[in-house]
Structure 1
Amino acid sequence: MTNWREIHNKYSAKLGSDYIATPKALRIIEKSLKASVNLYNAKEVHVIEIGTGIGTIADFISGKFKDVGYIAYETDSFCINSIMTNLSNRHVNLITNFDNLISQIVHLKKSCLILIVDDYLNLEQTRRLVNAIRFHDFKVIIEGHRFEQRKFFVKCLYDFDSHSMGNSSETLETR
């Protein structure tokens, strides 16, 4: 199932679906990912989703872009159990510890990262995340109405010297 409508309908019926990605968000993420896959070999593109929830975006992307790496970060026990059930047949690397997430990102070979933020990180975590992704080409997609997260990312991106950032960066909001 790789159609955004089908995925949205499938996850809308699940327990924990109160905050799943909207159809518009899924389309924006798909468009952004297609553009990156067209510029790079798909194996050089990695999606990192902060706050994976019950797995809507992860299911959609891992079904549609099979060669793209996917790191799902989640700390809520209900969501972790849902991800393990909902994505049991998908190739998704589930990480539940922030330090492990940063380590995974740092050890990726230079690539294009699509960072999807659908959960709240504090300013210090955001700084650490930006520091980890800055040597890659990257896009940041702030999913939903997370105005504080957008401010944190903009602040952290500007705090780093432009010479130490990846070749390109972009911040999008899906609503």
Structure 2
Amino acid sequence: MNPSKLQLTPTDIHDVFVVEPKVFGDERGWFTESFNAIDFANAIGSNISFVQDNHSFSRQWTLRGLHYQLEQTQGKLVRVVSGSVFDVAVDIRQDSPTYGKWVGVELSAENHKQLWIPPGLAHGFLVLSETAEFLYKTTDYYLPKSEACLLWNDQTVGIKWPLPAGISPNMNAKDAAGLSWDAAPKF
């Protein structure tokens, strides 16, 4: 890895990293190489193949997640290209030293940070800005029949979402009906 191109910062969850590509700027604006397969593989110590790119647009206080797939599990490299989100990963790998823990990172168009979430974690995000565009690469294809959803506000997990007092998140019925920690299937 060329350390001047990519910085990797470990989080409190085993194998989850904040990825910061080098941003080159001047009076004209800026440029960044948002993904380079060789640099990424060297940085995380594994050759990862991405097969699908997804792009979502959401309004403020929209909460999406906490999603995962039981088959065709997906690793995700996530980033924001407009606005900002509070991005969350929950470790549901029973053999992991950080099983049951969660991490949250603010990702924004301004900070250029990305989050690498390996397979075996539940993932979701809360939109902090007026709107946000969220992009993510996945290591396997989406398989609707294998999707599971962990309840966003499960007391056992205890995620501290940065919601202002009196604000409830906007979410679809599927996410609002997520499974409790005890009921959710694990890896």
Structure of greater relative contact order (alpha carbons < 8 Å, 6+ residues apart)? 2
Structure holding more helix per residue: 1
Compute the TM-score of the two structures, normalised by the length of structure 2: 0.30
Compute the TM-score of the two structures, normalised by the length of structure 1: 0.31
Structure holding more strand per residue: 2
